[in-house]
Structure 1
Amino acid sequence: MKIELKGVQETLLIPLAARAFETKSKNPRIKDVKAVEMVSKIEYDFSKFDRKMSKEGVIARTMILDRETQKFVNEYPDVVCISIGCGLDTRYYRIRYNQVQWYNIDFPEVIALRKKLIYENKNVHFIGKSALDISWNDDIYIEDKKVLIIMEGLLMYFTEPEVIQLFCMIKNHFPNCTILVEIMHPFIAGCSKQHDTIKHTDAVFRWGTRSGKAMEKLCEGLHFVKEWNLFDELKSRGVMFRIAGNIPFIRNKNNKIVKLVLQ
């Protein structure tokens, strides 16, 4: 299958490739059979994304988000999960409990590609709209269920006004939700051209924040709960990661997964 993706949309292939590479490795930390299947069906030079730093970061964030999503689902089995900027994410298939209603949101072109590779079912729904298109909120049926919103590899491609706009949209439509989001430090956001995989695309990082706590200023009612540095999952990946993870100047600039609640 030949595909034509440009700019930010092309970056969805980076985590897909990382999950497939990891699944096929000798001692995989995650198993994503669907990622392997999708990579095998797409005619594309995935080798340019086979870079250690980026691959390790993707797997670290995947492990954290899988774990925290599973914890939330364990507590609220009939939760509504909303993956904004889903790309070719396959988290639903790694989560146990089939009562979950899962909504994947991305550009129409991305959702069209998803539909060629992954099927919707009674629990998994696709919405082909921009994250900033306020109408996608009307396509989600929540009743009185708990809502978990996941934003992975997304906000760094937005401007700060767009980030604020998105959080205000979420607050207006899902006022008591829980949010798991990946954040990038402003220093790293300024280094798109040096990034080991992003430099192979036309995408550019546009926003970063120093901490999850700092995100509270984005939207009234947004409260910081906890954050996890990706280095926390990389301690066993070699001396370089162990040393870097213990140097505050380096550690503080690594990506983090942040848990927030809207109240």
Structure 2
Amino acid sequence: MSEANAAALQGVPVTALWTLWSRASESARTDSEFCDFRAEELCRSIYFDYRTFGRPAQTQVLRARTIDVEIERFHRNSPGGTVVALGEGLQTTYWRLGTPDLNWISVDLPEMIALREQLLPEEARVRTVAASALDRSWFDLVGAGDVLITAEGLFMYLQPDEVYALIGDMAQRFPGASVIFDVLPPGLTERTLNGTKLARGSDYVLPPMPFGLTVAQTRALPQQIPGVSGYHELPMLPGRGWCSPMMLGLQRRLPLVRNHRHLIARLTFA
């Protein structure tokens, strides 16, 4: 695997390096069940000072694992179906899942797709689209059959009206499909609008996150977006410390927290 310079990445695309580093760091731990050797290779191959992000984020790993479970379920029920990964960044999901017999469409900005194509191997079933997830041109690349759309770590960086319009258009174009995405509470996303450092001792300032919802607001999306027929919260797979089963359970029960927490949602289309 050749080396690459990430200097071309600016703004939101830089967050792909943050999530990559978190996955690679977790995969390298001897006390973790998470394995992502492709992420470890990518991390070593990209010239970048990852220390600018502070400590790795375990929540990003648990988010990836939770979505992995849903893609595996989709694969069992719909072999030969299509996964559309919006804003895929430097995710290595396709290889982590053992290159499943799924048609895979990776959509991201041109500079990110260029980096992916430089460092990741060509796969017959994987197609890349160098465009914004908001550019509906990728709609025409999705063939017949079952469809699962993922937007891992993406929607919070878009404007609310953009998110609602995109979900509505997907619902109209892909009846019976689903979209999986993660949601941050407004109290967290609003703090990023004026510039927030990622962590103490870190120089990295998070990009603005205009889109945040409470749990109750996320549950109400089927009543607000035409074509959306169902909502399901995907239980976050547990980890260590603040992400242990006990702590995740407390977050769902404590009155001051249960409506204002990070969650992963699946919306189904009529």
Q: TM-score normalised to the size of structure 2?
A: 0.87
Structure 2 residue 45 is matched with structure 1 residue 41: yes
Deviates more, 1:21-30 or 1:217-226: 217-226
Percent of aligned positions with the same letter in both sequences?
Answer: 28
**SS of equivalent residue, structure 1 residue 191:** helix
Distance in 2 between residues matched to 1:61 and 1:84, nearest whole Å? 15
Task: State the match for 1:167 in structure 2.
Answer: 167
Distance 1:225 1:135 in 2: 26
The 1:199–1:80 alpha-carbon spacing in structure 2 relative to 1, beyond 3 Å, is farther
Question: How much has 1:132 moved relative to structure 2?
Answer: 0.9
Task: Give the conservation status (yes or no) of the 8 Å contact 2:26–2:58.
Answer: no
After alignment, is 180-189 or 194-203 more displaced? 194-203
Contact map agreement 2:151 2:182 (CA 8 A) in 1: yes
Q: Tell me the residue number matched to 1:250.
A: 257
What is the CA deviation profile of residues 140-175 of structure 1, one whole-angstrom value per residue up to 9, with x for unaligned ones? 1422x1000011000100111111221122123212
Alpha-carbon separation, structure 1, partners of 2:225 and 2:21: 34
- Cα distance, 1:225 vs. partner? 3.3
Q: Which residue of 2 aligns with 1:233?
A: 238
Matches within 5 A, 1:1-263: 1-4=4-7, 5-51=9-55, 55-96=57-98, 98-138=100-140, 140-143=141-144, 145-192=145-192, 193=196, 195-196=198-199, 200-201=204-205, 203-211=207-215, 212-230=218-236, 233-234=238-239, 237-238=240-241, 242-243=246-247, 245-246=249-250, 247-263=254-270
Give the 3 Å change call, closer, same or farther, for CA 243–6 of structure 1 in structure 2: same
SS of 1:206 mapped into structure 2: coil
TM-fit CA distance, 1:75: 1.1
SS at match of 2:121: coil
Listed one character per residue, the Cα deviations across residues 157-206 of structure 1 (whole Å, up to 9, x for unaligned) are: 01111112211221232122111111111111112215439971451111
Superposition RMSD on alpha carbons, in Å?
Answer: 2.2
Distance 1:62 1:30 in 2: 10
Q: How far does residue 108 in structure 1 lie from its aligned partner after superposition?
A: 0.9
CA-to-partner distance for each residue in 1:59-109, whole Å, 9 max, x for gaps?
111111111111111111111000001001111112256320011000111
CA contact (8 A) 1:80 1:100 kept: yes
Secondary structure of the corresponding residue to residue 182 of structure 1: strand
2:110 alignment partner AA: P
Unaligned runs of 5+ in 1: none
- In structure 2, the CA distance between the partners of 1:155 and 1:218, relative to structure 1 (3 Å rule), is farther
How many residue pairs match? The answer is: 256
Cα distance in 2 for residues equivalent to 1:146 and 1:165: 22
Give the C-alpha shift of residue 214 in structure 1: 2.3
Superposed CA deviations along residues 97-140 of structure 1, whole A, max 9, x for unmatched, are 632001100011110111111123211111001111121212x1
Instruction: Report the secondary structure of 2:179's partner residue.
Output: strand
Q: Secondary structure at the match of 1:161?
A: helix
